[in-house]
């Protein structure tokens, strides 16, 4: 299998929610966080991050405020809202159920049938 995995359409939202659930982050920080957690195995087109952020904010799942970055620059920080937390939980649950089901199918042996 390829070292870098294609991002499934729609999963980017979940990854963003997860990344900022740990601490508020600016856009570039979110990118680094996802790459770091995934051990560089996920490739995200950098530009594609922002429309997702704007959409999540528009839906009230995250909120943003301007703050100062580690190198003293003005940056926009995103944090999870209560709705965002609920959404992350339900998405994670759904995802785990699905991976379990699919993993079960893939591990099936002839004897089990």
Q: Which residues bind another protein (CB under 8 A)?
A: 6-7, 9-10, 26-28, 31, 45-48, 50-52, 54-55, 57-58, 69, 71, 73-76
Shortest Å, Cβ 94 to another protein? 18
CB of 72 to another protein, least distance (A): 12
Closer Cβ to another protein, 71 or 109, answer by number: 71
Q: Closest CB to another protein among 55 and 79?
A: 55
- Minimum CB separation of residue 85 from another protein in Å reads 21
* Upper half-sphere CA count for residue 6 (Cβ side, 13 Å): 3
Q: Shortest distance, CB of residue 102 to another protein, whole angstroms?
A: 18
Q: Are 8 and 44 in contact (CB under 8 A)?
A: no
76/97 with CB nearer another protein:
76
Distance, CA of 107 to CA of 95 (rounded, Å) = 18
* Residue closer to another protein (CB basis): 19 or 31: 31
Distance CA 27, CA 49 (A): 7
Contacts with 90 (C-beta within 8 Å, 6 or more apart), sequence order: none
**Other residues' Cβ atoms within 10 Å of the Cβ of residue 17:** 22
């Amino acid at each position: 299998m390829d070292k870098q995995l294609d991002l499934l359409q729609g999963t980017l939202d979940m990854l963003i929610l997860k990344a900022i659930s740990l601490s508020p982050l600016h856009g570039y920080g979110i990118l680094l966080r996802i790459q770091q957690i995934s051990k560089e195995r996920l490739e995200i087109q950098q530009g594609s991050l922002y429309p997702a952020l704007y959409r999540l904010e528009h839906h009230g799942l995250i909120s943003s405020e301007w703050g100062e970055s580690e190198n003293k620059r003005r940056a926009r920080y995103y944090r999870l809202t209560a709705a965002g937390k609920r959404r992350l939980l339900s998405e994670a649950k759904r995802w785990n159920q699905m991976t379990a089901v699919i993993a079960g199918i893939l591990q099936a042996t002839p004897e089990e049938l």
